[in-house]
Structure 1
Amino acid sequence: MNPALGAIQTELFKLRKSKMFWITLGAFSFAPLMGGLFMIILKDPILAQNNGLIGAKAKIIGEASWPSYLNLLSQILAIGGIVIFGFVTSWIFGREYSDRTIKDLIALPFPRRTIILAKFFTAFVANMALALYIIAFGIILGLIIILPDWSITTLVEGLYTLIVTTLLTVLLSTPVALFACLGRGYLVPLGFVILMVVFSQILATIGYGAYFPWAIPALYSGIDGTSESIGLLSFTLVILISIIGLTTTFIWWRISDHR
C-alpha cells in the first residue's frame, strides 16, 4: 500500500473511532437549532413580544425569510467555525502528545511529511464534513419551519456564500496545527484560536477587519450588513496565512527533536 494512503486511512480511522468528533458534531448542531428558533419567533410577532429578550435578540437577525436564514447560517459557520474547526485541528495534531503516542507515530516507516500530510487531509475532511452537516441540517430546519421567499436562485446564492465562507474558515485552521505541535497538546492552539477571535472582533469594530484574516469569513458572510469590504486582498491574506500554517508545520516536524 502507498505510505501516504496508509497514513491517511489510519488518521481517518482514528477520527471515526474518536468520541471527540461525534461530540463536536452534536454540540455544533445547537447553532442551526437556535437559528431556527429565532426564525420561528420572527414569524410570529406576538410570540416574539411574549418572549421579551429572546424576541429582541431575534429581531437583530432581521426578518423570517430564506435569504435572512441562509445569511444567518453563513455567520454561524464564520464565527463558530473558527472555534470548532480550530478545536478539531488541534485535536488531530495535539492528541499524539497528550496520549503519548508521538514516539510510536514517528517510529513508523513513513517520512514525517507523509504523517503531516495525512493529518492535514484528515483535518480538512473532518471540518468540511462538519460544515456540510450544518448546512444540510440548517436547510432541513428551514423547510420544516416553512420560511417564505423560497426560490432556487435564493438557495443557490445562499449556498455559494455558505461554501465560500466555509472554505475561508477552514483555511484558517492550518496555523492551529503549528501551535498544537509547538505546545505539544491542546491548550496552546485553543488559546491561539480564542485570541484570534477576540482580535477579529476588535479589528472588525474599528474598521480594519478586511485586513485581518480571522475576521474576513464573518465579514464575507455579511455580519456587518454587507460583504463589499471583502476584496481580492482579503482573500489573498487568508490563502497566505493558510500556506504559512502548512509550510511552517512541515518545517517544524522536519527539524524538531521529538522526544
Structure 2
Amino acid sequence: MLKLIYCELLKLKHSKMLLISILGVMATPFMMLIESLQTHFAHPERVFTLANVYDNSLLYIMLLTNMMIYVVITAYLFSREYTEHTLKTILPIPISRRKLLYSKFCTLFLWIIMLTLVTWVGILALSGIYHVVFGMKGYNLFVAIKWLFKFILGSILMFLTVSPFAYIAQKTKGFVAPVIASAVIVMGSAALCNQDFGALYPWTATFFLIKGRMQGAGYPVPLAIGVIAIVSAVGFLMTFNYFKKEDLK
C-alpha cells in the first residue's frame, strides 16, 4: 500500500497540478489580506484579531475557493488514468484494484491536508505583514495553532464530502462533469450557508460543524455528522464498485 501511495506521489512530481493547486489555495490568504485592508481603511476604529481573520476565512476554505480546488484535484487523480491512457498498463498488474483506489484516496487526503496547511500558513504570514504595518490585536502563534486544529478537522470533513466526485470523474472519465457538479454544489452552499437548513446540506454541514452553528440552526450535531457520513459512504462505495467492474477497452 505504501509503495502505491509513493508511486502516486511520484507522479505528482512531473505534474503541474501540485503547483497550480498551491497557487489556487493561496487565493484565500490574499483575499483575507484584502479584506483586512478594506476594513482598516473604511473603518479604522474597528478592532479585529487574527482569530477573526481565520474565522472569516472558513467561508472561502470550506464552501468556495478551496472546495472547488479540492474537487478539481479529486477529478484529476481519479480520471488521469483515463485521460493519460495508462489504465491498460495498470489493470493487468497483479495488484488489487481496491488497493489502487485506496492509494488514490490516501494521496487525495494527504494533498488536501497539505493544501490546508498552505492556506493556514499563508493567512498567518500575510496577516503578519498586516500586523507589522498596521498592528493586529491578538496576533500570536497560540491563536494560530488553535485554528490549525480547526482547519485540519475541517479538511477531514471536506475530504469525506468529495468522494462522490471521485465516482463522477471515473464514470465520465474526465474533468468536465466533476467541475460542473462542484459548481452546482458551491452555488448551493453559498445559498444555504446563512440558512438553518444548511446544517443538513452535506457540503455546508461541514461548515456549520466547524463554526459551531449547529445549536443555533436547531439541529443536533449527530444528525449533521450522519448526513456527511452517508454522502461519503455512498461516494466511496460507488467509486469502488465502478472500478471493480471496469474492463480494459
Within 1, Cα distance between the matches of 2:58 and 2:150?
7
Q: Quick one: structure 1 residues 33 and 12, their matched pair in 2 at CA, closer, same or farther if it must change by over 3 Å?
A: same
1:78 aligned to which of 53, 62, 70: 62
Aligned to 1:160: 149
Once the 2 structures are TM-superposed, how far is the Cα of residue 186 of structure 1 from its aligned partner?
1.1
**1:91 corresponds to which residue?**
76
The runs of 5 or more residues in structure 2 that have no matched partner are none
CA deviation digits over 1:136-162, x for unaligned, max 9?
Answer: 111122222112123566445433332
Q: Which residue of 2 aligns with 1:57?
A: none
Instruction: Identify which range, 165-174 or 110-119, moves more after superposition.
Output: 165-174
1:73–1:162 Cα contact (<8 Å) kept: no
Q: Between 138-147 and 91-100, report the one with greater CA deviation.
A: 138-147
CA contact (8 A) 1:94 1:180 kept: yes
Q: Which residue of 2 aligns with 1:144?
A: 129
Shift of the alpha carbon at 1:210? 0.7
Q: Distance in 2 between matches of 1:234 and 1:90?
A: 25
1:203 Cα shift?
3.8
**Residues 158-187 of structure 1, C-alpha deviations (whole Å, 9 max, x = no match):** 333322222221221111111111111111
Q: 1:187: which partner in 2?
A: 176
* Cα deviation digits, residues 121-147 of structure 1 (max 9, x gap): 111111111111111111122222112
Q: In structure 1, what is the equivalent of residue 39 of structure 2?
A: 42
Q: Which residue is equivalent to 2:93? A: 108
Q: What is the TM-score normalised by the length of structure 1?
A: 0.83
Distance 1:203 1:71 in 2: 18
1:126 aligns with 2:111: yes
Change in Cα spacing, 1:258 to 1:176, as seen in structure 2 (3 Å) is farther
TM-score w.r.t. length of structure 2: 0.86
Q: Distance in 2 between matches of 1:205 and 1:72?
A: 14
User: Which of 102, 105, 117 is residue 102 of structure 2 equivalent to?
Assistant: 117
Q: Please give the root-mean-square deviation of Cα atoms over the aligned residues, in Å.
A: 2.3
Task: Say which of 181, 188, 201 aligns to 1:212.
Answer: 201
Report the AA paired with residue 183 of structure 1: T
Q: Distance in 2 between matches of 1:34 and 1:203?
A: 22
Q: Retained in 1: the 8 A contact 2:113–2:152?
A: no
| Unmatched segments (≥5 aa) in structure 1 | 49-61
Q: d(CA) in 1 for partners of 2:158 and 2:197?
A: 18
Aligned-pair distance for 1:107?
Answer: 2.0
Q: Among 223, 236, 244, which residue is 1:246 paired with? A: 236
Task: Classify the secondary structure of the residue corresponding to 2:196.
Answer: coil
Is 1:33 the counterpart of 2:30 in the alignment?
Answer: yes
Contact map agreement 1:70 1:158 (CA 8 A) in 2 = yes
Residues in 1 aligned to 2:209 and 2:140: alpha-carbon distance in whole angstroms: 22
User: Could you tell me which amino acid in structure 2 is paired with residue 43 of structure 1?
Assistant: H
Q: Does 1:15 align with 2:5?
A: no
1:69-88 deviations in Å (ceiling 9; x for gaps): 01022222112222111110
Structure 1 residue 37: deviation in Å? 1.9
Question: Structure 1 residue 169 and structure 2 residue 166: aligned?
Answer: no
Q: What percentage of aligned pairs have identical amino acids?
A: 22
Task: State whether structure 2 residue 188 is matched by structure 1 residue 199.
Answer: yes
Q: Give distance in 2, aligned partners of 1:184 and 1:251.
A: 15
Give the Cα–Cα distance (whole angstroms) in 1 for the partners of residues 42 and 194 of structure 2: 31
Deviations 1:87-133 (A, max 9, x none): 10110001111111111121222111111111111111111111111
